[in-house]
C-alpha cells in the first residue's frame, strides 16, 4: 500500500497495491510542470487509487489535448497525470508518496533533455 499527499496536505490518497515500476521522464513539458530535472512516475490502475481528501482543490491542466496534469490548486504539488485516450490508468507523481515502497526507475525517457550532471541509471 502506498500513501501520498500534496505539500499543503489538503490532498491525501491511498493506492491499494504495490508500485511495480517507476520511470523518469526528462521531457521539457515534465521539467516545466515539475520545476525539476525530471518527472518520476509510476502508472497505476485508477480503480485502486483512492482519494481520501482534497477532491475540491484538485485541478487539471491540459497542456496537450489528451493529457491532463493534475495538481493541488492550493499548494501546486503535481500529483498525477492521465490521458483521455487511456482511461483507467493514471501516472502517479512519485515525489508525492510519503509511505510505501517505490521501485527504482527502470527506464528513462527523453534523455536528450537530461542534465549531464545526472548519472545514467542503466549504463
Q: Give the residues lining the site for Zn ion (CB under 5 A).
A: 6, 8, 10, 25, 27, 30, 72, 74-75
Report d(CA 58, CA 70) in Å as an integer.
Answer: 7
Q: Can you say whether the dihedral through the CA atoms of 81, 85, 86, 88 is positive or negative?
A: positive
Q: Which is nearer to Zn ion, 30 or 92 (by Cβ)?
A: 30
Q: Which is nearer to Zn ion, 47 or 107 (by Cβ)?
A: 107
Phi–psi pair at 67, nearest 5 degrees: -115, 120
Q: Closest separation between CB of residue 33 and Zn ion, Å?
A: 8
Q: Closest separation between CB of residue 74 and Zn ion, Å?
A: 4
Amino acid at each position: 500500500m502506498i500513501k501520498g499527499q500534496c505539500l499543503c496536505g489538503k490532498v491525501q490518497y491511498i493506492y491499494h497495491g504495490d508500485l511495480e515500476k517507476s520511470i523518469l521522464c526528462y521531457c521539457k513539458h515534465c521539467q516545466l510542470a515539475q520545476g525539476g530535472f525530471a518527472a518520476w512516475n509510476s502508472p497505476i490502475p485508477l480503480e485502486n487509487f483512492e482519494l481520501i481528501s482534497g477532491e475540491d482543490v484538485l485541478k487539471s491542466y491540459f497542456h496537450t489535448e489528451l493529457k491532463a496534469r493534475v495538481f493541488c490548486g492550493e499548494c501546486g504539488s503535481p500529483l498525477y497525470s492521465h490521458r483521455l485516450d487511456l482511461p483507467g490508468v493514471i501516472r502517479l507523481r512519485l515525489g508525492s508518496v510519503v509511505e510505501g515502497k517505490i521501485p527504482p526507475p527502470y527506464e528513462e525517457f527523453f534523455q536528450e533533455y537530461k542534465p549531464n550532471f545526472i548519472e545514467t541509471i542503466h549504463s
